[in-house]
Amino acid sequence: MEVINKEGTEDTPKIILNRNDGIFEISGRSLPEDSADFYQPILDWLEKYSGSPNPETVFVFKLEYFNTASSKLILDILSKLETITNTRIQWYFHEDDEDMEEAGTEFSELVEVPFEFKTY
């Protein structure tokens, strides 16, 4: 499978989806103009990956901020991850960022994927 490695910008997160190295990460700020268009390649990649996943998948979210439109697509990603066996989420947040911690908690209640909460 091809590797997705997008550098983050002021409005878009850094994205690494690398099956060979076992790196699955979305980090930074997510405020793309068209969230659906921005996240579609990630959803497509996960759809392909779900057909033959690694024995274990640890998907890291290390977001500083995301807008409402991005939250819908993050939920879509989490829903796709529900279909992949032996997947868990690592949800990182700054220790003083209660909003991001709460967002992770809310997402964890909406999907059947184990979450680990970590501060940085």
Domain residues for the domain of 77 are 4-119
Q: How many domains does the chain have?
A: 1
Tokens at 92, concatenated? 């990182």
Identify the pLDDT of residue 51.
97
| DSSP three-state, residue 120 | coil
Do residues 49 and 21 touch, judged by C-beta distance below 8 A?
no
Return d(Cα 79, Cα 71) in angstroms, integer: 12
Return d(Cα 41, Cα 33) in angstroms, integer: 15
Identify the pLDDT of residue 17.
98
1 pLDDT band (50/70/90 cuts)? Answer: very high
| pLDDT tens profile 14-63 | 999 999 999 999 999 999 999 999 999 999 999 999 999 999 999 999 99
CATH code, domain with 25: 3.30.750
8: left (phi over 0), alpha (psi -120 to 50) or beta: beta
Do residues 13 and 38 touch, judged by C-beta distance below 8 A?
no
| pLDDT tens profile 50-96 | 999 999 999 999 999 999 999 999 999 999 999 999 999 999 999 99
Strands 87-93 and 115-119, bridge-based pairing = parallel
